[in-house]
Each structure stands twice: as structure tokens, then as C-alpha cells.
A and B are shown apart, each in its own frame.
Chain A
Amino acid sequence: MSTVDLVQIEGLHFARGSHAVLDGVSLRVPRGSIVSVMGASGGGKTTLLNLVAGRLHPDSGRVLVDRLDPATIARQDLYRLRQRMGMLFQHSALFTDLTVFENVAFPLRRHFRLPESLVRKLVLMKLEAVGLRGAAGLTPAELSGGMSRRVALARAVVMDPHLILYDEPFTGLDPISIGIIATLVRRLNDALGASSIVVSHDVHETFAIADYGYILAGGKIIAEGTPDELRASGSPLAQQFLSGRPDGPVPFHYPSAEGFAAAMGIHTGSRENQHP
């Protein structure tokens, strides 16, 4: 049982109109590991998370989470599956009309009839884990960006999920908050015995915590491996992404601007490289 991967994705295709967002993506998340999916903004990373969560249905291919296909199971079963998943949203998505405590308690209250003392214990335990026990009485408006992200993380793990999905967990945070979130992602994953998918474009932070990584570009997986293997990858596209070079296989100039760039006397060498 435990040898079976928690998430298996095979030949996933997903298009919006005529634009193929994901074009034959296959990946797997072994139990207990943190798998990162990296790629440029708009590269289909969040779409991939939504497909894993059953919020979108693939055009072809298959997603299996705990051996269940979120796209084909009944809504009730999907909801049961989601009770075993946690998701950290890019903008935290805290309920603005509830306090920090009530935000974290929300899934517990909605799904179980627990005595108030137990709810209190569970919520404070998770808030303690993210270092915000003292902020239980605050409202989301009183929190900084980093604190909001930590509260959202406490809420995402309050049901002790098997799978935690992180959508750009480091975006828009200061370096200290990034360090805290990265440490928490690793620590919570190990403490809960969960598996995690971290979707991000922050290479350094993601490599520090991931067991395995995939790089997504143009809807395809262009490189995969452990962080060290990825760093040593021979793919020019992967190298451009990992080193953050502005020009390379992904051109600096938007293709339709060719005439304009030439008229302005801008050298467009990258495109010449692309079309030798």
C-alpha cells in the first residue's frame, strides 16, 4: 500500500480554447515526499493543482489521488477526498469575517461535531505549530502577508491531510517570512506524514525543501529530478529558468514585436538562435 504513489498523473492534456495549457504531463508524488512543480508564470502550474484537486477536468489523461480519479468520482466522494487534502492559496484566502481562530476552526466545525474544548485544543495546536497561537483573536485584516500565509497554512493542515497542495507559497513575502514558510512546509509534511505538491517559481526556496522537482514549460515537463539533478540538467530551457536569464530559449522579446524591435534598432539575437 505505502509503496503506491499518493498522486499519479499520466498523459494529462488540458486546453483553454485552442491554447494547450498542459500537453501530455505525467508526474508522480510518492507518499511522504515534497514534490515541486516549477515553471514560469502562466505556465499551467496552478491549472495542474486544480486538476489534482478535481476543480478542473482534464481533456485527456488521468489524475489519481489515493487511487481515486477526482474528475470521475461523485461529488460526495470528491468532497470526502478533499477532506483528506489541504490547500494553501496564493493569497491565503482567509475568511475576512472570521477571526484567526475561527478561520482555522472552520473545516473542523463544518465536518465534525466536536466538543468546543477539543476544537480549541486542535486549533491552538495548529496555530502553535505555525507560531501564531498568540494571534488567535486577531482578524485577517490585522495580519501581515506572512502571518496570513501562516494562518492559512494552519487551516490547510487542521484536518491532518494526506496531501497538501501549495500554490505559490512564497510569492509576495519578505525573506524572513519566506524562510518561515519554507521551514513550515517541510516540518508539517514530515510531522503529519503527508505528501506535498509545491507549485512555485521561486527556485532557491523550493529546491531547499523539495525531495523531487519537475520543471514545466510550454505545457510539457522539460526536466525532472532531485534538486541536484535539476541543477545539473543539460536542458537549455531548464538552465535559463533556474539561473533566471532574461534571454534564451524563452525569448526576451515578445514574438509579434519583431518589426517593432527591428525598427527600434534592437538586436534580437535570441530569436535568431531559436530559428537558425
Chain B
Amino acid sequence: MKEDFLIPSIGRTIRETVPRIGMATRFLAGSLTAPIRRDFSFRQWLRQVFGLGVLSLALMVVAAFFTGMVLGFQGYYALVRFGATSALGTLIALSLLRELGPVLTALLFAGRAGSALTAEIGSMKATEQLDAMEMMAVNPLAWVVAPRLWGGIFAVPILCVIFDLVGIFGGYLVSVPILGVDGGTFWAQMQANVSFHGDIVNGLIKAVCFGLVVTWIATWQGFSAHPTAEGVGSATTRSVVMASLTVLGLDFILTALLF
């Protein structure tokens, strides 16, 4: 009896999911290639980089500052047992640059800017604005989605750099003035042990990938939302949940590849 229910339901799920993945991939390809076509607007793209960045900036700065300070305390707690507090600067910088910076930036971006993107595009769909665009012979993928997608791809690494810098500053404030670690050692150890290619660039590669994935999910969820108030609401929730889980899963894969 159980097989009778299970096997058809697996089949149905696959039959529903595979075309959706196909459509989402076509959607991504159509939006990513928009800049090489005539109907892409670079002004719209710049506006989106600015808009998405500003939308999340205050959140990033506050979150980064506290993350850095917590890293200072926790790192000190671990290192002081081995008499290695001089490595605290390195620990904070590597944690932020390689891992926490890109991941937390992407998660916060998904919660703040990603949800706003889904709601915005979903509302445009519900109020027939995307249909109107199509009828005016303007491709919504090129005019609405592509600038936002490319905006996310550029905004997340920029936010990640800000997150890393503010985080390191927060870590410094706890380590040096509060916990009494030597300031010169803090910076010197960091400078000596952080590699530009191995750590900073790797972190930024992650941020670019996360920016793409989060914005893709957010725009696709908005674009494919059911055109009702309820549909837009559930698409927004789905966008944040899916983007957050995807970022964490992708982080593991990227870390394994870039390790």
C-alpha cells in the first residue's frame, strides 16, 4: 500500500520539479546574457548596484561590527590557553575573509535585499506590469531582471569587503583596547599570515557566487510567483529560505573546491 502512494508521489514531484529547474535555468541564462544585447540598460544596472547596496549597508555594518567583536572574545578564549594570543589578529582576519564575511553578507543580503527583490518583482507581476512590458515589446528579463541580477552580483562582493573591514575593526576594538593584546602584533601577524590570493580573493569569489545565487533565487521567485497577494507573500518567504539554505550548501562546496 505504501509503495502505491510513495512511487507515484515521487514521480509527480520529479515531473513538477524538473521543468521548474529548466525554466529557472532558462530564466538565468536569458538574464545573464542581457548585457550583450541591445535592450540592457547600464543606467538601470548602476541604479540597482547602488540601491541593493544601500538597502543592506546599515545592516551589514552593524552585523559585521558585532561579529568581529565576538570573534575577538572567542578567539582570545581559545588562544590564551596556548599562549598564542599574538595570533588573534590572524584568526579574526582569516575567519572573516575566508568564511564569515561572504556567508553572513549573503545571508543578510538574502533577508534584506533578496526578499525586497522578490516582493517587488512579484508585485509587478500581480499588477500586470510585466505583462504590460511584454505587450510594449520590452523584454522584462532584460529590463527588470537583468539589472537586478547583475546588480546583486556586483553589490554582494562590495558589501562583503565592507563587512570584512568593519568586522576586523570590531575585532581590533575588543582585542587590543579591552583584552590587552599588543596592537603592533595584532596587525603584523595579520599582515604576515593573510594571503591576498589564497584568502582575500577566495573570499571574494565566494561572495560573487553567493551574490549570483541569492539574486537568481530572489528574482526567479518573484517572476514565477502566483500573481496574488498571497502568492507574492509566500514567494518572498520561499526566496529567503531557499537562498539561505543554498548559500550554506554552496559554501561547503566552494570551500572544498577552493581549500
Find out whether the CB atom of A93 lies under 8 angstroms from the CB atom of B137. Answer: no
B45 to chain A, nearest CB (A): 15
- Asked if residues B135 and A85 are in contact (CB atoms below 8 Å), the reply is yes
A93 touches B131 (CB 8 A): yes
**For residues 223 through 249 of chain B, which have their beta carbon under 8 Å from a beta carbon of chain A?**
none
Segment 96-139 of A: residues with Cβ below 8 Å from B? 96, 106-107, 110-111
Contacts of A111 in B (CB 8 A): 137
CB proximity of A60 to chain B, nearest CB, Å: 23
Are A82 and B128 in contact (CB-based, < 8 A)?
A: no
Asked whether any CB of chain B lies closer than 8 Å to the CB of A252, the reply is no
For B132, the closest partner residue in chain A by CB is A93
* Contact (Cβ within 8 A) A55 B127: no
Question: Any chain B CB within 8 A of the CB of A233?
Answer: no
CA distance A246 to B139 in the complex (A): 43
0/1 per residue, B136-150, Cβ < 8 Å to A? 111100010000000
Contacts of A239 in B (CB 8 A): none
Which of B39, B127, B138, B143 is the one whose CB lies under 8 Å from A91?
B127
Q: Give CA–CA (A89, B143) in the complex, Å.
A: 20
**Cβ contacts under 8 Å, B134 to chain A:** 55, 82
Q: Mark A67-108, 1 if CB is under 8 A from B, else 0.
A: 000000000000110110111011101111000000000110
A7 CB within 8 Å of chain B: no
In the complex, are the beta carbons of B136 and A96 less than 8 A apart? no
B129 engages A96 (CB within 8 Å)? yes
Please report the C-alpha to C-alpha distance between residue A111 and residue B139 in the assembled complex, in whole angstroms.
11
Q: Does A9 have its Cβ within 8 Å of any Cβ on chain B?
A: no
| Count of chain A to chain B residue pairs whose CB atoms are closer than 8 Å in the complex | 47
Question: A34-65 interface mask toward B, CB cutoff 8 Å, 1 = contact, 0 = none?
Answer: 00000000000000000001010000000000
- A-side interface residues, number (CB < 8 Å): 22
Indicate if the CB atoms of B39 and A93 lie closer than 8 Å.
Answer: no
Query: CB-nearest residue of chain A relative to B144?
Result: A95
Which of B39, B127, B132 contacts A110 (CB under 8 A)?
A: B39
The answer to whether B129 touches A110 (Cβ under 8 A) is no
Q: Which B residue's beta carbon lies closest to that of A82? A: B137
Given contacts A96-B127, A110-B39, A110-B143, A80 and B137 within 8 Å (CB-CB): yes
Residues of A within 8 A of B135 (CB): 53, 55, 82, 85-87
Write out the residue numbers on chain B whose beta carbons fall within 8 Å of the beta carbon of A159: 136
Which residue on B lies nearest to A165, using beta carbons? B135
Instruction: State which residues 143-174 of B face A: CB under 8 Å.
Output: 143
Identify the B interface with A (CB < 8 A). Answer: 39, 127-129, 131-132, 134-139, 143
Hey, which bits of chain A sit against chain B, CB under 8 A? 53, 55, 79-80, 82-83, 85-87, 89-91, 93-96, 106-107, 110-111, 155, 159
23 pairs, A vs B, C-beta closer than 8 Å: A53-B135, A55-B131, A55-B135, A79-B137, A79-B139, A82-B135, A83-B136, A83-B137, A87-B132, A87-B135, A89-B131, A89-B132, A93-B127, A93-B128, A93-B129, A94-B132, A95-B129, A95-B132, A96-B129, A106-B138, A110-B136, A110-B138, A111-B137
